[in-house]
Structure 1
């Protein structure tokens, strides 16, 4: 586990914190603007195990906000994202499922991880994952409201095992999904996961 990433993290985190992050297992449901950015931030923060679920391929229209490069266009998102995660941290354990999470398979996917990042586009998909996760006792971070530019400040709302992030008003389906606000929401998702793993607040 002594690679460049962990050597760097050791400047900022205790061995116990690094161990907690390395052993944490997080599910990333959706590998688009939210999921791809959140996954890279979590990997940079030392999360050692991820399951990435997505059925889509990288399109040129994704490059304005998703953690992909022109060389990835046409490739499955889960494959391209796993490659980036392993390049950043060769010790990370990444499992990929190129599939759409739905009511028929969600019951078999959720038990793989105690913590999930909801990173879907569609409201029905979001609702299905959040409600099923909460009923199953899983912890989950979900995003809402991240379209356009400017607008309301984003924040987090803690509701038991659920953390909601976003501006809670902007419909990304109506406003252009651009890198700054999409990435801001992804950062809040990643930060919510770190709270779940390390505790609510960093020590003074």
Structure 2
């Protein structure tokens, strides 16, 4: 069974917009799951503050996130085809970049960027998209759930819990959401989630 699933995933392509705490973790999880191709987009560089909740390591500080995550994925499995775009995505550009993706994953911090990309992909491509919302703080991990909200839109999150004064994004909670996004994408690609 696992061999059949890995064979199916090896023929799939996933697009990820944003390579921060969510996106870098999702990319690593999908590479470890046997995905064939990743299309990754982010405009930022690895900063020391990223080390505490993202997949990057200290020697990558100052690198473009696209280059750094490509390096990490090559260390994990050099058979994964990684296409990167070092740019800030608009909704229109996301549709172009992720044209060949079987599924698109939104992993942005900025609410406007989230809405712009998700809206454009839903309106113009018909592709299934998995996004995240409401993952801040250090509340219980079991509050983070996956929901199908439209025929091709899935949301992972806690239903809108915002950051409380003094709270920060916690690596553990971000990792839970990233794992749920990656797992949901795998289930969709192997036909176990509609």
After TM superposition, the score normalised by the length of structure 1 is: 0.87
Aligned to 1:58: 46
Give CA-to-partner distance per residue, 1:148-185, whole Å, 9 cap, x none: 11246110001311110011222259641110000100
- 1:110 to 2:98 alignment: yes
Aligned to 1:163: 154
Give CA-to-partner distance per residue, 1:35-87, whole Å, 9 cap, x none: 00011011111111001100000001111100011111100001000010011
CA spacing shift, 1:187–1:172, aligned 2, 3 Å: farther
- Equivalent residue runs for 1:18-97 within 5 Å: 18-97=6-85
SS at match of 1:164: strand
After TM superposition, the score normalised by the length of structure 2 is: 0.91
CA spacing shift, 1:180–1:25, aligned 2, 3 Å: same
The runs of at least 4 aligned residues of structure 1 exceeding 4 Å deviation read none
Distance 1:23 1:185 in 2: 25
C-alpha RMSD over aligned residues? 1.7
SS at match of 2:178: helix
Aligned residues: 189
Aligned to 2:143: 153
Distance 2:186 2:145 in 1: 15
Distance 1:180 1:38 in 2: 14
Q: What runs of 5+ residues in structure 1 fail to find an aligned partner?
A: 1-11
